Amino acid sequence: MKCLTMTILCLAVSGKALAQFNTISSSTPHYKVQMTGGAPTDSNVMEVPKESTPSVADATDDVHESVSTKGETIGMEVDSMRKALIQRYLSVSYPLGHIQVTSPFGIRKHPILRKKLKHDGIDLRAKYEEVYSVMDGEVTAVDSDKRSGIYVTVRYPGGYTCSYCHLSQPMVKKGDSVKAGEVIAISGNTGTSTGAHLHFGVRDSSGKCLDPMIMLEFIRKTREDVVRGLRELNG
């Protein structure tokens, strides 16, 4: 039980979003994606399979029954760890209900200007869908310009900021506090855009652009670690 307790505490107590995300390198992430043929523009589509992120419900069905058979003290301890793990699972969210990357981070041929330029984020397939905050944070900008169209920027722990661009409708205002998974906007086709999609960008505290796939990998791994911990509690 002591070994199990240490394993779960490593996941649930010390594993705050700030601590784990700050340890992720900006090098190419090992993020499993599935190539799904031709793109809506001139790039391939990378799809994140839904099954790559297990549901927390899959691992918690039998936890309460298990807790009740191990004694009151141990049961309370396990139940407390279970609650911490579920809270950890809910501390992150994908920016959309379904993730398909239609244009990756880095040098690409611009779909409008038709010349090679650096793409400082990733484009996600989205047709006027709800856009979610990826973590708890504070809205630092709700504005629009010719390039990004309507956009929302949110600052997260560690000074990281995420920008959600080409929106049709913002659902928050500057200064708002938002929770992971909270709807902050509806995606759209504003600004310099060839069609409805969500441009998702990530910057560190110095303002340097990071590959947003690092953030998606962090979200995936966080949820997988939580489900693994819950299954250990069941065992």
Amino acid identity, position 196? A
What would the CATH number be for the domain defined by 100-211?
A: 2.70.70.10
DSSP 29: P
Q: How many whole angstroms from its chain centre is CA 135? A: 7
First to last CA, the chain: 11
How confident is the model over 135-176, as pLDDT tens digits? 999 999 999 999 999 999 999 999 999 999 999 999 999 999
Q: How do strand 137-145 and strand 161-170 relate by DSSP bridges?
A: unpaired
H helix and E strand count, the chain: 6, 14
What pLDDT, on a 0 to 100 scale, did the predictor assign at position 134? 98
DSSP 169: E
How confident is the model over 86-130, as pLDDT tens digits? 999 999 999 999 999 998 986 666 666 566 777 789 999 999 999
How confident is the model over 43-102, as pLDDT tens digits? 344 455 444 455 655 555 544 444 444 456 566 787 888 899 999 999 999 999 999 999
Helix (H, G, I), strand (E, B) or coil at 55: coil
